[in-house]
A and B are shown apart, each in its own frame.
Chain A
Amino acid sequence: MNNVKLIARHFLKTVWKSKVVLPIYMVWLALVLYAVATGYATYTKQNELRKKYQAKARQSWEANPDKHPHRMAHFGSFAFRIKHPLSMFDNGMESYTGNAVFLEAHKQNTANYSEASFSTGLLRFGEISEAMLLQTILPLILFFLGFNAVAQQRENATLKILVSQGAAFKQIIWGNSLGLFAVGIIFLLPVLATTVTMITLKGNAGAASFIRFTIIGLSAIVFLWIISVVAIGVSAISRTSRSALLSLLGVWLMLAIVLPKTLQAIGNYLYPAPGKIQFQAAVEEDILKQGDSHNPDDVHFKKLKDSILRANKVDSIQQLSFNYSGFIMQEGERMSAQVYDAHLQRLLTIYDKQNRLSYNAAFINPFIGFKNITMAFSGTDFAAYRHFQQQAEAYRYDLAQTMNVLQMKYISNRKLSITDKPYSIDKSHWTSFPDFKYQYQPVNAVIKQQWVALVALAVWLVMSFLLINYIAVKAKVI
């Protein structure tokens, strides 16, 4: 154990003496600060704007005078997506998800105005965030700093001396890995410090934010350990430090750049998803099958009318105790929402299948697993977006149905003549209907969604210990 400590210390000393580490660390700090500054600015500005417009939309909702409730169902509302404080750390797929959606009766609108729709093709190179620096750049730096740890000692024969002096090869790998890992932690510190500062400053998500942050921090530590072991392991089995470097660069390119894109492209190819036009056509077709309220001869709505009259023991709509067209719209909304939801679930299943490849790849590629973890716990992954969409749709449905109920309750069935004042209800009903308020996902739900990535990271951790043993046995000293 003492040997391990000695070797680790020696590694740190060598890295420090190499003179490259200080400039690299300066560049690293500059990148981290740039990511923090832009992340913080974007988060602050966007949330401020979105809250402002959510309030503005509410203001004009409440400013409506007395009117027919169905007019209000069409007036509708908006849902603005509020960013999670941890999105300052990892922007995830936020740039590609819509930020505002119009919520109205009869219709599920898309969430629009994503950052990507405002951007040039430069977005496709990726964005700089603290998470991206941890996931992509830091492993490369660790590979740079670690590639010649063992290989160079082999090249200049100091490895032989070390072993003859009583150091076990296993201890050499352990020591160097710990040394490199310590370097990784030094690089990690400014990231963790700035992130925790930011979420404390902008902590609208409370304690849950800190639990999320802790999980991200622990995952980052495990990830850096795995990277360190891979770097030292490759260095230990390479004949020369040059071949160690080339292998590690190849590994980095494969795992960090090529594989994530390729896997997703394969998933996309294997499970083609319909576009909006096809999707809407299919929804429309199914709704027509169920019944078309526009068609005067529609069987479903005719049957419905007859059964309603029979159940209420009346023989005309005018005698009903509730507003009939409010009832019809309630029924129509229920049916169309059901059809839409069934199609949406089918679409989401396809998306899930497309993404499954990337999720499961965490077992062969720790880079992907770590990325999935940071995105999910930063509230910037697909599940977080779905969570927003579900809340928006639930609010929309509730709004439409509340207005239908108000219509059934307060609007008469008697047809108005031209000279009559149109039916209306009191405007206090508008203010009593609550505003849309987005709630972040509870942490438990995120853990459930990400168990594959979390388990994969744990498996990698165990594997790293096995790898050290395996290499210690297999690799030759000379």
Chain B
Amino acid sequence: MYKLAFHNFIRSRSVWVALVLFFTAGGISIFIGRQFLLKQEAAIQSVTQSQKEHIERNVKYIKNEFGLLMYYLKFAYIHKPAPIAALAIGQQDVNTNIQSLTIRTLEAQRYDTDLYNPYNLMTGNFDLSFVIICLFPLLIIAFNFNVLSSEKEGGTWPLVKLQSAQPLRFIFQKLSIRFIVVSALLFSLLGLAKCIIGIPLDAAFAAFSLMAFLYILVWFGVSFLIISLHKSTSVNALLLLSAWVLLCLLTPGMINNYVTARYAVPEAYNTLIKQRDGYHTKYDRNKDSTVQTFFQYYPEYKKYVWDKPSFNYIWFYAMQHLGDEEAGADSKAMHLKLKQRSQVSAAVGLLFPTTHAQLQFTNIAHTGIQQHLAYLDSTARFHEGLRRNFYPKIFGDSAVESENWARHVPAYFNAPVNINWLELILPMLTVGVVLFGIGVLVFKKVERGSTFNTNN
């Protein structure tokens, strides 16, 4: 019986058309993800090559002034996207993955954005997470909206009720067939993505797959709840599409609007102005006080003679560093504000399957704002490392050749993989169970009501 129903469903031409369409859309999204990775890879190679040439050229011209050389030299620090980032590009097209930094004021450099076409950013990436979050529900809706109503409208429903003791079981059977088909589509796309992009079979990939699986389960729950109301085909279509509009368009938009309006980030503008004023106004101040303030942060450099008659770089780099120190509080406040924004979004996002799935996907793929903040924080440590390496050589006026320049290849940021399984699964599972639970209650109630009515 089940097998027969399965064959019956699969035999339908429109089902195949829909599946082929979605498989193609999924394939395209995987391809787009791969393009994204390739572009990042090309940028990394390009920066590796140009850093080498850049250092070689400058070292050749500026042979005997270490401090002047370091004014120009740039060192790349790269947040290399993991292969799984191709499935959920998230904010990674907005936030730059490569920082190319001099040892001068960091706050003047680390928020520099990449060059991009804002029209592309606005329409967004057609990646697999988009296909799963926004398009899969439409397939599920298309498969399910008339599961019951078509029987009723075709006049076969009384027959079904007559033949099977539990009409609910009949509906579940039909839904489960569709669920198997949609899951098969999902897993074949994930398999395809694994092969094309070369995603390792690790915890992140498992988490991504699990999340996607639970997400489609939730949409079957939504479908079931609407079906259980025993409405007509048209009304079902309307209700389900309204649910889709609400969950995929309106709710995320409303959360985002709220966060934008509620949490402005003036700290960013303050950082921008303070880093400039912090450094530049030192030209008009007493040199001694500038250098002494610098020595408070770095007492180990006190031993260098700073008031040499020639242009002295201790003073210059002290001024640069004080730009960072004076903007530091605002920069920290800005990061705090951004964390707050991300926490509010995540907390509200938890309540809705679409937003929760999106935030979890970007979290798993390391393409969310938390990862970018971690990268920015780590950039400060990278910058500090560079300065500590070069300060003694500048202040001691070392020979330029004494540095092993070949050593200065781009460095990489490795984000710690951090998957909170409970937070991942629990909200989805709860929503799913609640939807199905209410659905069963409603179904039984409406069924009872209609039986009662016919008896009358």
Contacts and interface: CB of A to CB of B under 8 A. Distances in A.
B98 A277 contact: yes
B55 to A, nearest CB: 13
Nearest to B92: A121
A245 interface: yes
Given A111-B113, A116-B94, A261-B123, A125 B237 contact: no
Contacts of A272: 39
A31 interface: yes
A289 B116 CA distance: 26
B362 interface: yes
Interface in B3-55: 28, 32, 35, 39, 42-43, 46-47, 50, 54
Interface in A175-205: none
Interface stretch (B183-191, B202-210, B342-350): B342-350
Contacts of B124: 124, 126, 261
B309 A418 contact: yes
B113 A98 contact: yes
Given A45-B261, A102-B272, A110 B115 contact: yes
Most buried by B among A119, A132, A136, A137: A119
A285 B230 CA distance: 70
B280 interface: yes
Contact of B250 (A57, A98, A122, A128): A128
B121 A60 contact: no
A116 B119 contact: no
A264 B253 contact: no
Contacts of A92: 122
Contacts of A264: 119-120, 123
Contacts of B138: 253
B15 to A, nearest CB: 15
Given A121-B367, A260-B123, A109 B112 contact: yes
Given A96-B122, A264-B119, A120 B346 contact: yes
Interface in A41-99: 41-42, 45-46, 49-50, 52-53, 56-57, 60, 64-65, 67, 71, 74-76, 78, 80, 92-93, 95-98
B283 A67 contact: yes
Interface in B120-148: 120-126, 130, 134, 138
Contacts of B261: 37-38, 41-42, 45
A98 B272 CA distance: 13
Interface in B269-314: 269-270, 272-273, 276-277, 280-281, 283-284, 309
Contacts of A242: 233-234, 237
A71 B257 contact: no
A114 B248 contact: no
A446 B308 CA distance: 59
Given A45-B264, A122-B358, A140-B245, A273 B117 contact: yes
B118 A53 contact: no
A275 B250 contact: no
A466 to B, nearest CB: 29
Contacts of B349: 120, 122
Interface stretch (A164-172, A303-311, A350-358, A393-401): A350-358
A296 B65 CA distance: 14
A50 B264 CA distance: 11
Given A65-B284, A102-B272, A249 B237 contact: yes
Contacts of A114: 94, 113
Interface string B55-87: 001000110000000001000000000000000
Nearest to B280: A75
Nearest to B91: A121
Given A277-B46, A279-B115, A49 B269 contact: yes
Interface in A100-128: 100, 102, 109-128
A65 B342 CA distance: 42
A228 interface: no
A385 interface: yes
A78 B46 contact: no
Contacts of B268: 100, 112-113, 118
B405 interface: no
* SS of A interface (majority): helix
B253 A102 contact: no
Contacts of B57: 288
A60 B277 contact: yes
B90 interface: yes
Interface in A230-275: 241-242, 245-246, 249, 253, 257, 260-265, 267-269, 272-275
B249 interface: yes
Interface residues of B, number: 92
A245 B61 contact: no
Interface string A332-364: 000000000000000100010011001000000
Contact of A118 (B253, B265, B281, B368): B265
B310 to A, nearest CB: 8
A112 B272 CA distance: 10
A89 to B, nearest CB: 14
Nearest to A54: B269
Nearest to B47: A277
Interface string B346-381: 100100001100110110000111000000000000
A148 B232 CA distance: 14
Contact of A295 (B61, B250, B253): B61
Given A121-B361, A281-B50, A75 B341 contact: no
Nearest to B308: A418
Interface string A373-384: 000000000100
Contacts of A347: 115
Interface string A417-439: 01000000000000000000000
A212 B146 CA distance: 46
B35 A80 contact: no
Nearest to B121: A96
B125 A124 contact: yes
B440 interface: no
B265 A113 contact: yes
Given A110-B112, A115-B260, A126-B252, A354 B245 contact: no
Contacts of A80: 269
B311 to A, nearest CB: 10
B266 A53 contact: yes
A448 interface: no
B358 A117 contact: no
Contacts of A34: 254, 257
B272 A118 contact: no
Given A76-B276, A100-B269, A119-B91, A382 B117 contact: yes
A277 B43 contact: yes
Contact of A382 (B112, B118, B258): B118
Contact of A93 (B43, B115, B118, B269): B118
Contact of B118 (A37, A96, A241): A96
B265 A120 contact: no
B280 A97 contact: no
Nearest to A385: B118
Nearest to B142: A246
Contacts of A382: 117-119
A19 interface: no
Interface string B419-431: 0000000000000
A125 B122 CA distance: 10
Given A42-B260, A96-B94, A102-B108, A125 B252 contact: yes
Contacts of B333: none
Nearest to A115: B260
Given A49-B269, A118-B338, A67 B118 contact: no
B272 A137 contact: no
Contacts of B95: 117
B241 interface: yes
11 contacts: A64-B284, A75-B276, A92-B122, A95-B260, A96-B94, A100-B272, A115-B260, A127-B253, A128-B256, A268-B120, A276-B114
Given A95-B260, A121-B88, 7 more contacts: A45-B261, A92-B122, A119-B345, A242-B234, A261-B123, A276-B114, A385-B118
